[in-house]
Structure formats: C-alpha cells, structure tokens
Amino acid sequence: MTANLLDFDLEALAAFCEQLGEKRFRATQLFRWIHQKGATDFSQMTDLAKSLRDKLPASAHIPKPVPISTHVSSDGTIKWLFDVGGGDAVETVFIPEDDRGTLCISSQAGCAVGCRFCSTGHQGFSRNLSTAEIVAQLWFAEHDLRARFAGTNTGRAKSNDLGTKSNDTRVISNVVFMGMGEPLQNYAAVLPALRIMLDDHAYGLSRRRVTVSTSGVVPLMDKLGADCPVALAVSLHAPTDALRDQLVPLNRKYPLSELLAAARRYLAHAPRDFITFEYCMLKGVNDQLEHAQQLVRLIQDPVRGVACKFNLIPFNPFPESGLHCSDRETVLVFAKILSDAGIVTTVRKTRGDDINAACGQLAGDVVDRTHVMQRMQRQRSVMPSPVASAANLALES
C-alpha cells in the first residue's frame, strides 16, 4: 500500500525520503510541490532528482480530494462537502473578508461531545479523520480558491496582513478548527496537521492565525500548549457548572474550575495574551442578565479568572435542538455588561446561514456509531426540558 503524502509533516516526509535512499533536502522540495504548488503528478516536479521521481509512483500518492457538492452563499461564503469513505462526509467552509480569508475545517466525522446547540453533535460520531483528510481540506480549498479568484483581489488577504512578500498568491490567511468534531479528541492527527499548516515550506500560516477550538479537553489543552501552541478558543457557553453540564456534557468530566485553570496554563505558551471564549446565545437559557453577571464574576475571580475575550455567537437554529436564538437586543445588552466590566467582547456576524454553513450548522453525513439520537430521545423522555431546568438552577445559584 502506497503512502499518502498529505499525512506527513516535513520531518515525517524527510524520514520517508531517507527510506527511499534519498537525501533529506529532497523532502523540502517535495513538500513545496505538494502544498505550495498543489502538484499531484510526480513527473511534473521538475527540480526533484529523476531517481526520486521514478521511485515515488510505486511508493506514494497524493490523492486529490473532490467535493461531493459546493454551495456558495449570497455573502460569498463557500461550503464544500467531502466524501471521506465508509458513508461519511465532512464539511469545510471558506469565509472571505476584506482583510483575511478564513477556512473552517473539520477534524472528525461527527462529534462525540454532544453539545445541545450543535447540529454536528446531534448527528453523533463515526470516526476521527486522518492527518491527510484534515490537511486535504486546506490543500483543496487553497488551490481551488486561487483558480477561482485568479486575477482578482476577491477573498484574498492583503499581503501586508499576511506578513509576506507583495507577490504572495495565498488566499487563505486564517484556519480555524471549528468545523465538525472536537479537535483535541483527535490529537494524534491534528498535531501533524497543525505543523504542516505552520511550516514555511507549506502554508506558512502564523500561530496567531491558526485557531483550535475545544469544548474543554483539559489534559490535551496542556499537551497542545507544550507541543504546538496556536491560538485557542474555548467553547464556554455557560457561567455555572449546573448549566454547562446540560449544554456541554464534557463539563461533567472537566468542570469549570479545571477548564479555567487549564486556560491559564495555556497562556504561558500561547501566541496571544488572551484566550477566546465562545458563547452561543440561547434564548431564555444562558442569555439573561444574571448569566452575564455570573460570567463577569467567574472571569474576574482573583483565583479562577483568566485573561480573555468573549465572542458571542447568535445561535443558528435547527429543528432537533428545541432551542432558539436570543433576540438581538438581548445579545447587545449581554455584550454591554461584559464590556462595561472591562472584558473585550465581540458579537460574531453570522455568515453563510443561507447554505447552512454558519457556526453550529455543519453536519455533513455521518454513520453514527454512538447512537446519539436514541440516547437524546431517551434523555428527553426522562427529562422533558433539561436545558430549562439547568437554566433555573443557574439563576438560583
């Protein structure tokens, strides 16, 4: 079986070349052809030694991902659905802005965390993606968008914003692991994918512009800080353990005290001097004045607090959730309470919701091996309104 070269970071590719009897510097040349030029045909890699070009077809391949479908939003957002085999498909989203181009990628087929407000979580979990399947999303999007935007400035981050030369042709300046899956529960594949994205011989992305979003896998937050610290976003969504237990089930294993302690430890390694907390605004559940005041006390606690910014995310409804989006006025009042307390707070602009590409809407197609829908139905039969119950507990605390 031949090796998929999208699985290899530069160090692994160098070891692979040595196994073929080639010098390690050949790996750098090969790496550039794959990631910077988007080449899949070894015969076209003209500066490689002919001996290596002759060996590669029998020992390696670079599969070109082909999307099952492509949807373009009225706001320019693009969503691709990629078949990853076994009945599973994952979604990838590109969000163009004036000063950046952001790619939202998936790390798992489905998700096992089961957050109440996330469409992916309601689909259940099938499997982890390989490093190649993660990197392929960036590989395809970057080269597809270059062709799509050739000769225009549409969707392309400005050169000075990228910190690159004026003739830089990259379209994607930012990558966020905010698609399908919990990235830290697929750490073995995510780590080499991060190293590929950051490598100057591949995509050369800044650590500040690559963000891993986690629902709070505390031990692996520490490991990421030691191995490959990039920007970190933590899915918080509640100010108390009682409420967060219902919205983010992982909180039962790693409660807020442990999560905030891990966030403080991460700051010692992080490329930014703050952690981003994501907070999905759910009508009547976690959006009341008391919740905002509880957040202020939590974040500014002299022992448990952490330097952070808040990203308030309008909920994107889907039928199975039974939840609703907070009114805009409620969101703005909530944001003002945080801002007035000195906490940097932004309200995320919804992008791509007309093609179901907005935050929390990515679902793809997943062969659920966790039977999540049956479990959720059983839970509802025992506790008809678990979120409402948790909200009452939070307001009473």
Placement of tokens 């090796």 in the chain:
3
- Pick the catalytic residue from 22, 91, 182, 278: 91
* Closest of 273, 241, 270, 235 to residue 257, by C-alpha: 241
Q: What is the pLDDT of residue 270?
A: 96
CA 351, 169, 8, 33: dihedral to nearest 10 degrees?
Answer: 150
* 133 counts as catalytic: no
Give the residues of the chain that fall short of pLDDT 50.
155-167, 357-363, 375-376, 378-397
Which secondary-structure segment (H or E) carries 23?
A: none
CB 22 within 8 A of CB 80: no
For 336, list phi and psi in degrees, rounded to 5.
Answer: -65, -40
Inter-residue contact 344 to 390 (CB < 8 Å): no
How much is the pLDDT for 127?
95
Which of 111, 115, 228, 359 is catalytic? The answer is: 359
Q: Output the pLDDT for position 138.
A: 98
Give the dihedral of Cα atoms 137, 190, 102, 36; nearest 10 deg.
Answer: -60
User: Is 290 a catalytic site residue?
Assistant: no
Phi, psi of 231 (to 5 degrees): -65, 145
Task: Tell me the C-alpha distance between 364 and 348, whole Å.
Answer: 23
Two tokens at 17?
Answer: 């070349």
What confidence score (pLDDT) does residue 194 get?
98
Q: Could you tell me what percentage of the chain is helix, strand and coil, using 3-state DSSP and rounding each to the nearest 5?
A: 40, 20, 40
pLDDT score recorded for residue 328 = 94
C-alpha pair distances (Å), 113 with each of 106, 180, 182, 222, 365: 14, 11, 7, 19, 17
The secondary structure of 123-159, three-state, reads HCEEEECCHHHHHHHHHHHHHHHHHHCCCCCCCCCCH
For the record, the structure tokens of 250 come out as 């992982």
Domains defined along the chain, listed by start? 3-61 (1.10.150.530), 67-396 (3.20.20.70)
Q: What is the pLDDT of residue 318?
A: 80
Residue 122 confidence (pLDDT): 79
What does the pLDDT read at residue 4?
98
